[in-house]
């Protein structure tokens, strides 16, 4: 019998409530809705029904957006050690990227404390969210060939798992729709559940073979999506970030690592690191041709992340 999963990454904020403005139908309310409980300007859709609850995705649309657009998009998954999640974690980053012309999404997913979910179930939900965005791209004003996935800690793990051929899928998903991101943004990310020093703990929770199937580090190839990795120098998961970048570069894929000196695992959501990390995300996406012009965010002095190369 598998025991409940134990949080590995420290405390995170509790899950917030949400308002369902639409079901998974591509028709939706006009931009401008405000959810007073989160001071959020996003539009909310239910992208998936599960036995526990409906799962929602919050979308920020840029000024001048039209359903006929083909804009680049990104979906963020929050951290929380697969045990909790909060849609607020990437609220400022999503709003910023929308101000730069993207459609920016934040997807909820099932977690251990609220839903009894294990990490493989979290991965299924992330892959479903990616498929929902791509399936509805024509009415969301999204270019289906320019959808990035990003996240922090366990959320970064979920984003990276969307690129894996052998990761678990929800049985109800239409597998003809790809969940593969066209780029990845990984912050303080866990990329290996199978060979880490806590591999036995993950194996006890999901089984050794499943843990291997959701370990992105083991499947890097020349076809791995372009990836931006950001991590604090004091984060115990930094070696996994370095290994990911080193392996990707050796395989001929692009992966860039930036390190925040002196910073611990949960560094990227608070000022001044919020601004510093969003600037790097902007520059990374601009280097792919997804954004134009210089970043508009102002980064306080002393908050620069240093690039690392294998």
pLDDT, one tens digit for every residue, the chain (310 residues)? 344 443 443 322 222 222 333 333 333 333 333 332 344 678 999 999 999 999 999 999 999 999 999 999 999 999 988 889 888 899 999 999 999 999 999 999 999 999 999 999 999 999 999 999 999 999 999 999 999 999 999 999 999 999 999 999 999 999 999 999 999 999 999 999 998 877 888 888 889 999 999 999 999 999 999 999 999 999 999 999 999 999 999 999 999 999 999 999 989 988 899 999 999 999 999 999 999 999 999 998 888 899 999 8
List of residues 6+ apart from 249 with CB closer than 8 A: 255, 310
Q: Take residue 101 and report the two structure tokens written for it.
A: 């012309």
Q: Take residue 278 and report the two structure tokens written for it.
A: 């969003």
Could you state, in order of their start, the residue ranges of all structural domains in the chain?
43-308
CA neighbor of 185 nearest in space, from 225, 216, 220, 223: 225
Residue 147: Cβ within 10 Å count: 24
Report pLDDT for 40.
62
Q: Give me the CATH topology for the region 43-308.
A: Rossmann fold (3.40.50)
Beta bridge partners of 146: none
Report pLDDT for 198.
79
CA 258 → CA 117, 187, 304, distances in Å? Answer: 32, 10, 9
Q: Report whether 157 contacts 190 (CB < 8 A).
A: yes
CA 17 → CA 14, 127, 130, 256, distances in Å? Answer: 10, 22, 22, 35
The C-alpha angle with vertex 250 and arms to 75 and 228, in degrees rounded to 5, equals: 25
**CA torsion angle 7 10 11 14 (round to 10):** -40
């Amino acid at each position: 019998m598998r025991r409940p999963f134990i949080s590995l990454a420290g405390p995170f904020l509790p899950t917030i409530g949400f308002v369902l403005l639409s079901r998974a139908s591509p028709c939706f309310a006009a931009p401008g809705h405000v959810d007073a409980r989160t001071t959020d300007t996003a539009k909310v859709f239910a992208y998936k029904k599960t036995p526990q609850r409906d799962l929602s995705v919050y979308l920020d649309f840029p000024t001048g957006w039209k359903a006929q657009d083909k804009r680049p998009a990104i979906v963020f998954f929050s951290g929380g050690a697969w045990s909790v999640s909060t849609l607020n974690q990437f609220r400022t980053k999503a709003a910023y990227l929308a101000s730069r012309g993207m459609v920016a999404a934040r997807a909820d997913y099932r977690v251990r404390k609220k839903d009894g979910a294990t990490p493989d179930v979290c991965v299924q939900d992330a892959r479903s969210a990616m498929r929902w965005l791509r399936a509805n791209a024509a009415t969301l004003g999204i270019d289906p060939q320019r959808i990035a996935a990003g996240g922090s800690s366990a959320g970064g793990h979920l984003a990276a798992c969307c690129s894996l051929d052998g990761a678990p899928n929800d049985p109800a998903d239409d597998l003809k729709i790809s969940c593969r991101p066209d780029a990845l943004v990984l912050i303080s990310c866990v990329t290996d559940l199978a060979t880490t020093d806590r591999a036995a703990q993950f194996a006890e929770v999901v089984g050794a073979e499943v843990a291997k199937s959701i370990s992105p580090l083991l499947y890097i190839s020349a076809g791995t999506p372009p990836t931006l990795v950001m991590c604090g120098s004091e984060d115990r998961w930094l070696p996994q970030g370095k290994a990911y970048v080193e392996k990707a570069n050796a395989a001929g894929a692009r992966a860039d690592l930036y390190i925040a000196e002196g910073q611990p695992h949960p560094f990227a959501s608070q000022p001044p690191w919020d601004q510093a990390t969003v600037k790097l995300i902007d520059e990374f996406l601009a280097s792919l041709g997804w954004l134009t012009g210089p970043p508009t965010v102002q980064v306080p002095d002393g908050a620069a992340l240093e690039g690392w190369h294998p």
